[in-house]
């Protein structure tokens, strides 16, 4: 069976609903587990060109080759590599589930370094993760968890832009709120000039940008005027109508934080390097 034919046959199966497809040979050898799976999820038994379990979900597909320890050891010198070669051609997630106590190879004639080296080769060179399972019950639990995971909808998750780690006085809270837009020193200078957080907000909200810029000429931070870019940004932020962020907005935000090494906008630094 060529890799192209493998993907073609599996893609035919993928047109069906969310389910676990069990290879016919695997089902005949492990009928009890298949019956147990059928009580919880939709299961189909079909011949698979590679793998023992094909899990289909709205978030993707996973092809799993299941090996018990002695079966795994006995196949290391032969058919396992053909099975892995077919598994690797699958255009989705592919896994090797290794069921049982790995240390049993010590009761066989296998050299320990050789076994561990072959496992390393599967993971590193072949790029196929190995998931260890203590027994058949754990394997079934994992299949059900993976099935559920692939059917879950991607949740919209919001992260707070700034987090306070302690209780603050009203004065500290005002400073903390304002410095997210302009930095600590500028926020402190604005509060000293306009007395309250409301006073600062009112200046930016009730006046045009030229009026705000003219009013702030007398406010000095470290002997200099507040940078024009800082004033313009504050005016824009204070007068922007709030809307719920979209998934793309949140993803861009996360990427921005990663690119800056954990520092996003509002990190407490303004154009003066505060």
- Look up the pTM and report it: 0.53
154-183, pLDDT tens digit by residue?
555 555 556 655 678 888 888 888 888 888
Specify whether 100 is located in the same domain as 16.
Answer: yes
Q: Sorting pLDDT into bands at 50, 70 and 90, what band is 10?
A: very low
Q: Sorting pLDDT into bands at 50, 70 and 90, what band is 142?
A: very high
Is 31 within 8 Å of 114 (Cβ atoms)?
no
Q: Is residue 264 domain-resident?
A: no
Q: How far apart are CA 96 and CA 46, in angstroms?
A: 19
Q: How far apart are CA 32 and CA 20, in angstroms?
A: 15
pLDDT confidence of residue 163: 61
Share of the chain above pLDDT 90, in %: 42
Domain limits for position 125:
3-151
Q: Is residue 157 domain-resident?
A: no
Specify whether 213 is located in the same domain as 117.
Answer: no
Of 151, 178, 208, the one marking the end of a domain is: 151
Specify whether 96 is located in the same domain as 39.
Answer: yes
Of 151, 183, 202, the one marking the end of a domain is: 151
Of 96, 121, 151, the one marking the end of a domain is: 151
Q: Sorting pLDDT into bands at 50, 70 and 90, what band is 269?
A: very low
Specify whether 63 is located in the same domain as 12.
Answer: yes
Instruction: Specify the DSSP class assigned to residue 122.
Output: I
CA 174, 180, 186, 190 torsion: positive or negative?
Answer: negative
Is 34 within 8 Å of 27 (Cβ atoms)?
yes
- Determine the number of helices (DSSP H) and then strands (DSSP E) in the chain: 13, 8
The pLDDT mean for the chain works out to: 81
Q: Is residue 65 domain-resident?
A: yes
Number of domains in the chain: 2
Q: Is residue 267 domain-resident?
A: no
Specify whether 129 is located in the same domain as 233.
Answer: no
Q: Tell me, what CATH number does 69's domain have? A: 3.40.50.10130
pLDDT confidence of residue 15: 43
31-84, pLDDT tens digit by residue?
999 999 999 899 999 999 889 999 998 888 999 999 998 888 888 877 888 888
- 240, with CB counted inside 10 A (0-12, 13-18, 19+), is exposed
Q: pLDDT at residue 153 above 70?
A: no
> Which residues partner with 67 through β-bridges?
98
185-240, pLDDT tens digit by residue?
999 999 999 999 999 999 999 999 999 999 999 899 888 899 999 999 999 999 99
């Amino acid at each position: 069976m060529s890799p192209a034919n493998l993907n073609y046959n599996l893609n035919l199966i993928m047109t069906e609903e969310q389910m676990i497809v069990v290879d016919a040979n695997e089902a005949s050898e492990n009928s009890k587990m298949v019956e147990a799976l059928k009580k919880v999820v939709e299961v189909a038994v079909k011949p698979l060109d590679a793998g023992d379990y094909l899990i289909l979900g709205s978030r993707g597909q996973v092809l799993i080759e299941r090996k018990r320890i002695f079966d795994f050891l006995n196949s290391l010198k032969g058919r396992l590599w053909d099975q892995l070669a077919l598994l690797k051609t699958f255009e989705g997630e592919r896994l090797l589930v290794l069921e049982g106590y790995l240390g049993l190879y010590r009761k066989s004639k296998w050299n320990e370094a050789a076994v561990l080296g072959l496992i390393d080769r599967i993971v590193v060179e072949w790029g196929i993760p190995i998931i260890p399972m203590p027994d058949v019950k754990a394997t079934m639990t994992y299949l059900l968890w993976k099935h559920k995971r692939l059917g879950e909808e991607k949740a919209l998750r919001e992260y707070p832009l700034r987090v306070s780690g302690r209780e603050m006085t009203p004065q500290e809270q005002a400073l903390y709120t304002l410095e997210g837009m302009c930095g600590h020193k500028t926020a402190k200078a604005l509060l000293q000039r306009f007395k309250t957080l409301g006073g600062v907000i009112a200046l930016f909200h009730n006046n045009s940008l030229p009026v705000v810029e003219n009013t702030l000429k007398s406010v000095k931070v470290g002997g200099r005027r507040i940078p024009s870019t800082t004033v313009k940004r504050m005016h824009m932020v204070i007068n922007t109508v709030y809307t719920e962020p979209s998934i793309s907005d949140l993803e861009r935000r996360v990427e921005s934080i990663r690119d800056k090494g954990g520092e996003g906008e509002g990190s407490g630094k303004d154009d003066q390097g505060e």
